[in-house]
Amino acid sequence: VLFRSNDVVVVAMTPLLVQISLARGLNPIPFLLAFCFAANTGSSGTLMGSPQNMIAAQGLQLSFKGFLGVAGLPALLSLPIVWLVVAAIYRGKWKLASAPAAKGATAEPAVPFNRLETIKAGVIAIAVVLAFTFTDWPRELVALGAAAILLVNRKIAPTARARFVVKPTDATPSA
């Protein structure tokens, strides 16, 4: 979580966290709270944690390493505090009470793992970290460039594209 924007990580990983928790019979709420809190506190440690971090570092003229040196330790120290608070509040409430399955309910199919997209995102993330750490390139351009590469180079499933296609019969008003 320290190396990606916290918003992107939380949006992408929340469904997976819920699915894993429910599959194991665990209450997803403490895991979701801990995940969101840890994402916010942990992301405060790097420039890429949030756009506000980039703005603050730019205003203070801090490099990636300089910002990490100032904010990294407090971010790391906050993570065990998050764990302690959630563990204390949810003591004894980690397991779900067994509830009968709803009649006619079907489980959603699992989203297949896409190795190529995962590798692509990892390579881009490493490239951004390296550019932030070892170059003096403008951080906002590096971040925008990485986002552009990921957006332009993505694939959308045919069924997802079909939802955005307007059929000629749908566009004509009925008399």
**Residue with structure tokens 């019969």?**
169
Sign of CA dihedral 9, 10, 12, 18: positive
Residue 5 has pLDDT above 70, yes or no: no
Residue reference for tokens 């190529």: 116
pLDDT at 31 over 70: yes
- DSSP string covering 95-160, please? BPPP-PPPTT--PPPPPPP-HHHHHHHHHHHHHHHHHHHH--S-HHHHHHHHHHHHHHT----HHH
Residue type, 157: A
Q: What is the pLDDT of residue 136?
A: 87
> Is pTM beyond 0.95 here?
no
Q: What tens digit of pLDDT does each residue of 56-93 get?
A: 888 999 888 899 899 999 999 999 999 999 999 999 88
Task: Give counts: helices (H), strands (E), the chain.
Answer: 8, 0
Kindly report the length of the chain. Answer: 175
pLDDT tens-digit readout, 131-150: 988 888 888 888 889 888 88
Q: What is the pLDDT of residue 77?
A: 94
Distance CA 146, CA 141 (A): 8
Q: What is the pLDDT of residue 3?
A: 43
